[in-house]
Chain A
Amino acid sequence: MEFSELIRTGQAQAELLRGPEMPPLRGTLCVTGHHLLLSPGPQATPDLWLLLLRSVDSIEKRVAGDAGTITLRCKDLRVLQLDIEGVEATLDIARSIEALSSLESVITSFPFFYRPKGLRLGEAWHFHPPERYYKRIARETWSSPLPVPQTRAWRLSEANEDFSLCPSYPRAVIVPRAVDDDALARSARFRQGGRFPVLSYYHAPRGTVLLRSSQPLTGRQKLRCAEDEELLRAVLAEARPGARGFIVDTRSAQAAKQARMTGGGTEAKAAYPGWKRLHRPLERGRPLQESFVRLMEACGDPEQSMDRWLSRLDGCRWLSHVKEALSTACLAAQGMEWEGACILVHGAEGTDSTLLVTSLAQLILDPLSRTMAGFQELIEREWIQAGHPFQLRCAHSAFSHTRPKHEAPIFLLFLDCVWQLGRQFPLSLEFGEGMLLALFDHSYASPFGTFLCNSEKERCLCEVRTRTHSLWSGLNQPKEQRKLRNPLYVPNPLAIWPSVEPQSLRLWQGLFLRWTHPPEPSEVAWEKVWQIATDQKTEGSQPTDSASEPQP
């Protein structure tokens, strides 16, 4: 396909308004296949302004006299205004942006053309997260003081090598050693989308595990599957004799029951001895998207009265979702840490709220996942490879006028929960708010390939890993570190249990009010924190060096 067919105009003169704090830019505006460019001339700073067209969420045009105005609402929640000379030019540019920003094709998207200097293709991709994670488990089980049988309880299965068992799982998954690949195939047939129970996290200090799956297809006839039951029985048997298990269903008991009408359902008590179901309804899908949209509407109005603001903040229910997600994750974590129980998490498809719960529970329990590298690996393993359909969920952000189909800000909700953890444990996360903001931006529109497609299978088909750059290689460049890291990080080997009281949760202003309400003084203060922290590190290391110098 030729982009040039969609580009209606060469260029136009325009003025760009970027919000209250930034000076306007004047110059020549130009639309290319993937970008909107504004060139203010050679002597201006910056000499080029670029916007990825993919990040345009909605576009509004207005013409008056012989000039036009285009308002661009971006997926990163920015609002931009372009004042363009000429009615024709305005309409042409608007049409071009509209057409180009809504292209569906993955392989013509910008990541396939993006070739930044200093980065090599294929670098920093996490090629085998399940394999690497399996190695870690093997290490941890061998060194742990647990009884012998447990140390060999898990194996890496390549039953899904050709994605035939489950299209949304990666090629390799970690399953109980006692269950063979044939049994996995049968269990996969009994679970929606083939997502049979797999290991998500091994909690070494207590020898307990966190599993995830999708709902069982019990249906109206209350079907059962011996292999599926055997799989869960094996999990308990290998954890500890007499170990208990809890199935955290992220739907309400009623919704789970209703799912039987459409072929889904939940595990029957009698069929899974030792496992007990807990229902923790989490919002997902359209209601969550609407919550996001309403929150952004409230955040877009700085003139509103105090009462109106509070009632809108209450009405959008976003913070309720944060609280529910965090408390469910805490429940799962608590089950493993304090009850010594195994936990299986699933909702319906097992690709949304399930992943939210499992990834948050790991952050709470696992100190490694709170490091920069560990967090990247967690996202790669528990979101990207675990089959969260990023392309569908992040097709549009809060400003889109199109009717939402599959959009839902589940990943944003995860980032918000992580931010809340970081606020309550400001020294325990190696990454800072900047990292979370970057992940939010890139999950919706990115020059990197990391968040492309909906599953591992699709990524393989599109050859994403060999033809695009990994976000991690972009983020791990030294020049990015100051933005992304938490200067106050101190490794903390303990579990972090957040408070989920409404008084302890706060609106994430750094994200939701990032562009409308820049908190300038606090940025300066943060710079000072950096300064104090880095001062300490450089000064701390300086004398060490001189002291360790070999004596003459």
Chain B
Amino acid sequence: MEHIRTTKVEQVKLLDRFSTSNKSLTGTLYLTATHLLFIDSHQKETWILHHHIALVEKLALTTSGCQCIRSDPVIQCKNFRTVHFIVPRERDCHDIYNSLLQLSKQAKYEDLYAFSYNPKQNDSERLRGWQLVALAEEYKRMGVPNSNWQLSDANRDYKICETYPRELYVPRIASKPIIVGSSKFRSKGRFPVLSYYHQNKEAAICRCSQPLSGFSARCLEDEHLLQAISKANPANRYMYVMDTRPRHRMQSWWATQKDIGRIIVRISSKIWNDEKIRESDGKKRLNAMANRAAGKGYENEDNYSNIRFQFVGIENIHVMRSSLQKLLEVNGTKGLSVSDFYSGLENAGWLRHIKAVMDAAIFLAKAIMVENASVLVHCSDGWDRTSQVCSLGSLLLDPYYRTIRGFMVLIEKDWISFGHKYSERCGHLDGDPKEVSPVFTQFLECVWHLTEQFPQGFEFNEAFLLQIHEHIHSCQFGNFIGNCQKEREELKLKEKTYSLWPFLLDDQEKYFNPLYSSTSQKLAALEPNTVSFNFKFWRNMYHQFDGTLHPRQSVFNIIMNMNEQNKQLQKDVKDLESQIKQHKNKQTDGVLTKELLNSVRPESPALKTSLCLKEQTLLPVNDALRTIEGSNPADNRYSEYADEFSKAEPAVVSSEYGVARMTC
């Protein structure tokens, strides 16, 4: 509170972002400990959470009244809202600007909204909320532990890897020393562990970080662990190692690359030793030994390719950050032309990156579905691109993750528990701006593209994705605070804050997709088409607060209503039928009595239908209101042309027309 100097400013103007005619709303601005609140003259409230503020700028604005330069705050939010206030008094303006600057960047976790947010739940409700998504159950659902995979207690006290969860699943034949050894060889100790197990194919998605560069010696334990993962899949002799980084960016990691190459060769040779040579005659074996002694004999690893190495080009967090920045610059432009929009979209490269993530996930899903092969995914640290690819791959493979509850589990598993650094990537605290990156936003966008391609494949709708996106930045709930499980435990989030998931479930009818078909066999494993035509700008995300850009009528709402009504009608029909039946039993002549009809009529579905229709369809019609709400020519850009309507006619007719002659 010490940052707030002015709590209320009157006569503030809120400028419309896309109107060229400087259309504005006048109202009162309030500054609270958690929110910025603007109430306009129509009593419409605009709440902006301080944590959502990504950037406060002073925009020099030349007002038409006086030609002085002023500095009014322009606020850019992480949920892609942009607001521009004009504050009448320069001093208020300055105060608000400084307060917002302070409030939007908190120095410590304890100052985040979640620690003060109180939704009036008691402790047991809070606890139940946190237990709603239990990962142990999720692994059980996948079918682990089983004969090939087991729960490892190696990281029980976060001794091996601080950024992993306590409970990790590893191949049964991988012993603790192997795990410890492997973790020393991998960046941040993030050794290969199970992310998703495909029960039918007995194939696994595993994840890890990059091998440490400059490691000169080979790491036998890591080789063993990879081998164990490969062997845990009885159906297939080879596995994939997917490096999600683009090849051209690998120059700095070139040494690493060579190490990986060496590992592959070594593992190949090991298995070659173990399996092939054992069966072959001694002479060949002797040859091989001789080759190895001479430093040769490994190069032809393709012959024994039990590991297939795959690069998929997803760019790093810095490229993604600047790509989004470019995208937002383009679509925030006033008076944007179609041409500028598409060339801006192309230059930003955002859709290209989305496609790259999607292609990687499809490769992963195909490796499991078509080839029955297990896949190990990694990037550099294994918490950004790896999370994207593993979670999207699982989403393609398993319809459970496409339900509302399943999607929560997926986020909890591949993002939260495996240590995606939410607080750093979302900039919850005042930290290094270079750590901020829209990695999770990209994941949500990929899911959105899938929902567009498979309108019946998902139980949830776009609003659900937008709501989750809202809350990764809001810090209203504890789920996304902190960077890894260990940190979250230290913050005692489960005691001090609430979980988001029960609140989303309470509202779940808002997030249902009315077209969802849970039984369709075709939609068991999704095979999206990533032809370039399929990728579109996600207007409802990046312009979610720019109402004028959206369709003015919602198909979704009307279908929801229709579905509701259908259900109600079906129920009514059933009720009526049963009543008729009862009556027939009573009265052998089977004629409906007046009494029965009267008793039914107040409930008559026909009446209800007409009522419903009236409510959902139309606004009252009168002379003042002849347009659908929110659809007003003045809100749209063609209104700028209309300025010409109001221009006065020039008083003097130019001489050009003075010489015009009459004909006919």
> Taking beta carbons and an 8 Å cutoff, which residues of A are in contact with B?
186, 189-190, 205, 218, 221-227, 246, 268-271, 276, 278, 280, 299, 302, 304-311, 313-314, 317, 319-320, 322-323, 326-328, 330-331, 333-335, 337-339, 341, 423-428, 488, 490, 492-507, 509, 513, 517, 519, 521-522, 524-525, 528-529, 532-533, 535-536, 539-540, 542-544, 546-547, 551-552
Contact = CB atoms under 8 A, between A and B. Distances in A.
Contacts of B549: 499, 501, 503-504
B335 to A, nearest CB: 9
A492 B338 contact: no
Contacts of A278: 641, 644
Given A309-B532, A503-B331, A190 B664 contact: yes
Contact of A311 (B18, B343, B457, B565): B343
Contact of A320 (B338, B618, B637): B338
A426 B557 CA distance: 11
A307 B631 contact: no
Nearest to B348: A310
A424 B338 CA distance: 17
Interface string B538-569: 01000100001111111100110011011001
Interface stretch (B83-91, B186-194, B408-416, B589-597): B589-597
A458 to B, nearest CB: 29
Contact of A488 (B535, B555, B660): B555
A414 B601 CA distance: 49
B351 A306 contact: yes
B605 A331 contact: no
Contact of A222 (B554, B563, B642, B657): B657
B597 A551 contact: yes
Contacts of A328: 638
A224 B341 contact: no
A326 B641 CA distance: 13
Interface stretch (B116-124, B147-155, B622-630): B622-630
A502 B559 contact: no
A521 B453 contact: yes
Nearest to A301: B532
Interface in B619-664: 619, 621, 623, 625-628, 631-639, 641-642, 644-645, 649, 653-654, 656-664
Nearest to A506: B536
B573 interface: yes
Given A186-B664, A427-B555, A525-B456, A535 B566 contact: yes
B537 interface: yes
B617 interface: yes
Contacts of A205: 623, 626
A490 B554 CA distance: 12
Nearest to B456: A525
B551 A423 contact: yes
Given A306-B351, A311-B346, A533 B562 contact: yes
Contacts of A426: 551, 553-555
Contacts of A424: 551-553
B356 to A, nearest CB: 9
A339 B642 contact: yes
Given A276-B649, A513-B533, A490 B552 contact: no
B529 to A, nearest CB: 8
Contacts of B455: 521-522, 525
A280 B414 CA distance: 54
A226 B661 CA distance: 10
A227 B662 CA distance: 11
B653 A269 contact: yes
A346 B645 CA distance: 18
A156 B609 CA distance: 44
A300 to B, nearest CB: 11
Contacts of A535: 562, 566
Given A425-B552, A493-B621, A543-B605, A502 B341 contact: yes
28 contacts: A186-B664, A223-B663, A226-B664, A268-B657, A278-B641, A302-B532, A310-B346, A313-B342, A327-B638, A333-B633, A334-B639, A424-B551, A425-B551, A427-B555, A490-B617, A493-B618, A494-B626, A494-B628, A494-B631, A499-B550, A501-B18, A502-B338, A519-B453, A524-B456, A525-B515, A528-B515, A532-B559, A543-B569
A330 B572 CA distance: 46
Interface in B246-266: none
Nearest to A329: B638
A533 B345 CA distance: 37
Contacts of B653: 269-270
A544 B549 CA distance: 40
Nearest to A268: B657
B636 A320 contact: no
A427 B531 contact: no
A335 B641 CA distance: 10
A488 B617 CA distance: 11
Contact of A517 (B533, B572, B626): B533
Nearest to A299: B533
B88 to A, nearest CB: 30
B517 interface: yes
CB-based closest 6 A-B pairs: A314-B342, A502-B341, A525-B455, A309-B532, A310-B346, A544-B606
A522 B528 CA distance: 12
Contact of B660 (A268, A495, A505, A539): A268
Contacts of B533: 299, 302, 309, 507, 509, 513, 517
